[in-house]
Amino acid sequence: MQTQEQIKEMVREKYSGIALQDKTSNQASCCGSGGCSSEVYNIMTDDYTAVAGYQPEADLGLGCGLPTQFARIKKGDTIIDLGSGAGNDCFIARRETGETGQVIGIDFTPAMIALARANAEKLAYTNVEFRQGDIDNMPVAANTADVIVSNCVLNLVPDKNAVIGEIYRVLKPGGHFSISDIVLEGTLPRSIREAAEMYAGCVSGAIQKDLYLQMITDNGFEDITVQKEKQIDVPDDILLKYLSAEELAELRNGPVGIYSITVFARKPLTQKTCCGPACCN
- The domain of 112 spans 4-269
Mean pLDDT over 11-23 rounds to 76
Instruction: Check residue 1 and give its pLDDT.
Output: 53
Asked if the structure places residue 208 within a domain, the reply is: yes
Instruction: Place 281 in a pLDDT band, splitting at 50, 70 and 90.
Output: very low
Is 83 inside a domain boundary? yes
Domain annotation covers residue 274: no
Sort 194 into a burial class: Cβ within 10 Å, 0-12 / 13-18 / 19+. Answer: middle
Question: Would residue 275 count as lying in a domain?
Answer: no
- How do the residues of the chain divide into helix, strand and coil, expressed in percent and rounded to 5? 35, 25, 40
Which residues, 6+ apart, have CB-to-CB distance to 264 below 8 Å?
Answer: 70, 72, 176, 177, 178, 223, 224, 225, 226, 227
Q: Share the mean pLDDT of the chain.
A: 87
Answer yes or no: is 278 within a domain.
no
Residue bearing the bigger pLDDT, 92 or 28? 92
pTM: 0.87
What pLDDT, on a 0 to 100 scale, did the predictor assign at position 13? Answer: 83
Residue 104: phi and psi, rounded to 5, are -120, 120
Nearest to 79 by CA among 96, 60, 58: 96
- In-domain check, residue 151: yes
276 belongs to a structural domain: no
Q: Please write the tens of the pLDDT for every residue from 50-91.
A: 788 888 888 888 888 899 999 999 999 999 999 999 999 999
What local confidence, expressed as pLDDT, does residue 238 receive? 87
Q: Which residues, listed in sequence order, are joined to residue 183 by a DSSP beta bridge?
A: 207, 259
CATH classification of the domain holding 165: 3.40.50.150
* Cα→Cα distances 174→102, 105, 144, 158, Å: 18, 21, 12, 28
Q: Please tell me the distance from the alpha carbon of residue 148 to that of residue 242, in angstroms, as a whole number.
A: 35
| Confidence tier at 203 by pLDDT (50, 70, 90) | confident
The total of structural domains in the chain comes to 1
pLDDT interval class at 195 (50, 70, 90): confident
Highest mean pLDDT among 116-130, 229-243, 246-260: 116-130
- Given a cut of 50, whether residue 243 has pLDDT beyond it is yes
Q: Indicate whether 38 pLDDT > 50.
A: no
pLDDT one-digit tens code per residue, 122-155: 999 999 999 999 999 999 999 999 999 999 999 9
